[in-house]
Structure 1
Amino acid sequence: MPLHPTVPKPKRFSKTRKALRRTLALGLVAGGLLAASAQAKADPRLVIFDDDGFSIAQWMIIKAPNVRVLGITTVTGDVWQKEATNDALRGVEVAGRADIPVVPGATYPFLNSEKLTDRWEALYGKLIWKGVWMKKWVEKTEQPLPYYHGPDVVPDLPYGNPVKKPETERAADFLIRMVHQYPGQVSIIATGPMTNIALAQTLDPEFASLAKELVYMGGGLNPRQTRPGVVAHQFAREFLNSPRREFNFRLDPESASAALRAPWKHIVMVPADPSTDTELTPEFLKKLEATGTPVGHVMKWHLSGFPLWDEIAASVWLDPSIITEKQDLFVDVNSQFGPGYGDVVSWTPGYEPGLGERKNEVVLRINVPKLEKQILDLIGSPQAPVSGHPLP
């Protein structure tokens, strides 16, 4: 029964109502925080993987928990774009994720070419690795010579060709569309030449600013020789005299410079430096194969002796605690045709010329055992059955 308006409310009742309101308010705040926390845990991290050939790194990202791969975009680098696309199509099938779009990208660099590279070598010396333009090794090495062919040749894969077809959309358009669809949420991991990234920024000046971040493998600062007897030391030979030169940048320096000058919110650079402490050994490949998963099964066809370049970039994005040493630097790429063509140019903050360079979080060293454990755990994690042709 309501109290008479002229009768004052009992103090105890008034205090009780105030306490009740405070309790309800606190409960609503706490409930909101819990809901927000639960939502944050439930929302997957969005990522696009831009690469020049399917690798263990892409399987790591695909099989990682709480990650949604929006697509894989392909570019020419270690192999031609069509071959990289074929690899990626079969790669998502093997992972049981044929739902992931594979989007073809650029076939040629902005300006660089095979003839220009031949001319550069005649003037300034031999390159150790030239990707699709590689005809022979300069000196004896453990790895076989890659199959030299043109951009339209797609070699058969030893573990079966894909049934899945690539998207008809171009990689640059796909990248632009995704950052507009999910503004501020999309991470881009680039582990090949940056042609697609530069094209997207050229077509849409808002592209980089709408992405969450760019994590890339490319460039070098001062990579060190690995311990004696490790096969991967072969890939550190060129750094003895040319520590700033690295293949991803060297194939398309103009694109790398354009991409790195774009207005990203956050940039993580994974140069060659930490890779010289790593190696995909035959023993490690056997461990991956022993996981018994379809992805592990494919490891019997994987070549050993290579550093874990792309895998470091994937790992750093998945778990930054793997980094043991890093530094903030402003980074650009030398695009002048001369002896330093494609080399990294860097400055500590305050020394940069201020001509559009962006600050990079540069990964210098990593916890190698932690990286190897992460790869094993992810490759060995459960997955959907293989799509397309069964594995031989």
Structure 2
Amino acid sequence: MSHPPKKQKFLIDVDCGTDDAQAIMMALAAPSVKVLAITCVGGNTPLDNVCKNVLRVLKICNRPEIPVYRGMDTPILGEHVHASDFHGKDGLGDVPDASAPGIENIQKEHAVDMMIKIATKHAGQLSLIATGPLTNLAMAVRMDPTFPKKLKDLYIMGGNMESRGNTTACGEFNFVADPEAAYMVLNDFTCPTYIATWEHSCRSKLSWEWYDQWVNMGTEKAEFIKKIYAHSMQYSRSEKEVKEMVSGAGFVSCDAYAMAAAIDKSTVTSSLETALTVELNGKFTRGMMVLDLIDELKKPNKAFVMNGCDMEKFKVLMENSVK
């Protein structure tokens, strides 16, 4: 008798804005994945909103049993950057739901403690997917230096590979929001690490025709996505945004690229294997990810920087997430 294949075990760390919501929905729709927990970090929106937004996503996906933990609400140095102009003040497009679950549904334990506990319990089997600032991960490795060794692998949406920014001239939001945390994670995490950068996301954008069909599929989940994305779409479809984007117009769901790679590695068609670090001191470049392509840093741990996406496979994962 053949046994069903073992499910991939996921721990998802988010600063739940619109694209984090999309990434969570993608993971929950994947039959090969078991989401063990979701941890929250301040970022796109303040931490209370992040927690409430995750609960709202779990409700729409009918998965209220997945535990949600509250993590770090400020970056390591406490210098806040929010993205409320893009994601809405509440992080989900400012379209509140009166029947959404309340903050009392958040677990009592701290997210960082639980990350260590879950990784210890499932040592060698756990994929960690981080789609927000990396503050919780940095705190976890400081509290338990063996934490990265317990992970099967790590997937990050963040950073950049060509010094192209979306928050500062050279900085991507998640890394700029906590450069020290990003530096610590890229330095101290020795597990296989895969990074979906800002440029990778922009190069793998979907057409607006595809987006319009996707959000109009008529399901409850598609309606939810359409509603929460309406605010940011006014910005994304404007001429200013098209000028800022890499390679023209289209829909970019940044966090979904990291999640797709975690679900199915074959969605990544090429990658650069290189040591990485983060600039902490530059006047214009603080928070910028640095690719050490000439091995100047002599770092033993290298990461895989995604540099190509199988768009047909990616579209299927996106479509399944709203069915």
Q: TM-score, normalised by structure 1?
A: 0.69
Is residue 2:120 matched to residue 1:180? yes
What's the counterpart of residue 188 of structure 2?
262
Count of aligned positions: 298
Residue 37 (structure 2) aligns with: 71
Corresponding residue to 2:265 among 317, 320, 333: 320
- Matching residue of 1:287: 213
Matched, 1:102 2:64: no
Measured in 1, the distance between the counterparts of 2:316 and 2:107 equals: 34
Query: Percent same amino acid at aligned positions?
Result: 25
- Name the residue aligned to 2:100: 161
Following superposition, the deviation at residue 221 of structure 1 comes to 0.9
Which of the numbers 82, 88, 100 marks the counterpart of 1:131?
A: 82
Look up the match of 2:226. Answer: 300
Q: Secondary structure at the match of 1:269?
A: strand
Q: Is the 8 A contact 2:22 2:225 kept in 1?
A: no
Cα distance, 1:282–1:162 mapped onto 2, change above 3 Å: farther
User: What's the RMSD between the two structures over aligned residues?
Assistant: 2.7
**CA distance in structure 2 between the partners assigned to 1:192 and 1:281 by the alignment:** 25
**Cα distance change of structure 1 residues 52 and 280 upon mapping to structure 2, 3 Å threshold:** farther
Question: What is the aligned counterpart of 1:351 among 268, 289, 295?
Answer: 295
Provide closer, same or farther for how the CA distance between residues 247 and 211 of structure 1 changes in structure 2, counting only shifts above 3 A.
same
CA deviation after TM superposition for structure 1 residue 50, in Å: 0.5
Cα offsets for 1:168-226 (capped at 9, x unmatched): 11110110000111110110000110000001111111111111111101110127xxx
Q: CA deviation at 1:378?
A: 3.4
Decide whether the 8 Å contact of 2:49 with 2:90 is kept in 1. Answer: no
Counterpart Cα distance in 2 of 1:287 and 1:315: 20
Q: Which of the pair has more CA radius of gyration?
A: 1
Counterparts of 1:51 and 1:284 in 2: how far apart (Å)? 26
User: CA distance change for structure 1 residues 365 and 159 in 2, over 3 Å: closer, same or farther?
Assistant: farther
Letter in 1 for 2:40: T
1:111-260 counterparts in 2 under 5 A?
111-114=77-80, 130-132=81-83, 146-147=88-89, 157-158=96-97, 160-163=99-102, 165-222=105-162, 242=169, 244-260=170-186
Instruction: Point out where structure 2 has 5 or more consecutive residues left out of the alignment.
Output: 237-250
C-alpha separation between the residues in 1 aligned to 2:207 and 2:109?
38
Shift of residue 359, structure 1, vs aligned partner:
0.5
| CA distance in structure 2 between the partners assigned to 1:86 and 1:371 by the alignment | 27
Once the two structures are TM-superposed, the CA of residue 290 in structure 1 deviates from its matched residue by 3.9
Task: Note the residue ranges of structure 1 that are not aligned, 5 or more in a row.
Answer: 1-34, 115-129, 137-142, 150-154, 224-235, 381-392
Q: CA deviation at 1:89?
A: 0.5
CA distance in 1, matches of 2:158, 2:52: 23
CA distance in 2, matches of 1:206, 1:190: 18
Q: TM-score, normalised to structure 2's length? A: 0.83
Which residue is 2:59 aligned to? 93
| Partner Cα separation in structure 1 for residue 269 and residue 6 of structure 2 | 28
Give the 3-state SS of the residue equivalent to 2:308 in structure 1: strand
Aligned amino acid, residue 279 of structure 2: N
1: CA distance, partners of 2:165 / 2:125: 39
Going from structure 1 to structure 2, the CA distance change for 1:55 and 1:283 (only over 3 Å counts) comes to farther
What is the rounded CA distance, in whole Å, between the counterparts of 1:318 and 1:335 in structure 2? 32
| 2:310 aligned residue (361, 367, 374) | 367
Look up the SS of the partner of 1:48 in the other structure. Answer: strand
Does 1:52 pair with 2:15?
Answer: yes
1:332 correspondence with 2:295: no
Is 1:184–1:212's contact at 8 Å kept on the other side of the alignment?
Answer: yes
1:43 is displaced (CA, Å) by 1.5
Deviations 1:332-360 (A, max 9, x none): 11122533211111212x61423x56300
> Which residue of structure 2 aligns with residue 231 of structure 1?
none
Q: What is the rounded CA distance, in whole Å, between the counterparts of 2:207 and 2:140 in structure 1?
A: 37
Structure 1 distance, partners of 2:5, 2:270, is: 31
Whole-angstrom CA distance in 1 between matches of 2:283 and 2:223: 45
* Inter-partner Cα distance in structure 2 for 1:283 and 1:97: 30
Q: What amino acid is aligned across from residue 101 of structure 2 in structure 1?
A: P
CA distance in 2: counterparts of 1:307 and 1:216, whole angstroms:
16
Query: Residue 256 and residue 237 in structure 1: after superposition, are their counterparts in 2 closer, same or farther (change >3 A)?
Result: closer
